[in-house]
Amino acid sequence: MFWEQTGLPWIMPSPNMPLPQTAYVYPGQVILEGTNISEGRGTCRPFEIFGAPFLECHAIMETLSKSGIEQGYRVMEFRFTPTFNKWNGQRCRGFFLHVTDPVAYRPYRTTLLFLKAILEHHQKEFQWKDPPYEYVFDMKPIELIIGDREVINCIEANEDPLALEQTWEKELRQYLEFRKTYLLY
């Protein structure tokens, strides 16, 4: 069930989660917290808006179009100036991510594909953030957020995240089966 189907009013669980649509993109876009790419904090649509002053959006979009994966969302080039957090007060080039079909949309996959394209075009400017993050001082934030060095290695090596995703299918199916006994509806 999606939030809009509940008939309940949305009450922001965080200042950076203003709308139910934010929750659709958050599981992927939270990865950006471990980078120097703004995840849109300091804008009216955090996590749906993201970017950095150095991004060449057209080149990134061309690379993404070759991946053939645009299920459940539309993306448009977007300019913004965050009022706080990363790139505070600086004009950023980036994107607005709009989920059109939450069932088909894959937030984690989408963000990994964006990161791969960004790294492909901006190796010199792109950076993984240094610690600390969430009170952890001895590991890079991206390692804490993703939790799997293999995913980070894949992105850094410009490998296809979709191939890596296939290695998770068996465990994901097992998890989906396991959780059935705990679902209320």
Q: What is the pLDDT of residues 61-83, one digit of tens each?
A: 999 998 877 789 999 999 999 99
Percent of the chain with pLDDT over 90: 85
Number of domains within the chain: 1
Q: What is the pLDDT of residue 69?
A: 72
Work out the mean pLDDT of the chain and round it to a whole number: 94
| Average confidence (pLDDT) over 82-109 | 96
Q: Which residues form the domain of 77?
A: 3-182
The CA distance from 58 to 121, in Å, is 11
Q: What is the pLDDT of residue 173?
A: 93
Q: What is the pLDDT of residue 162?
A: 84
The CATH number of residue 175's host domain is 3.90.1150.140
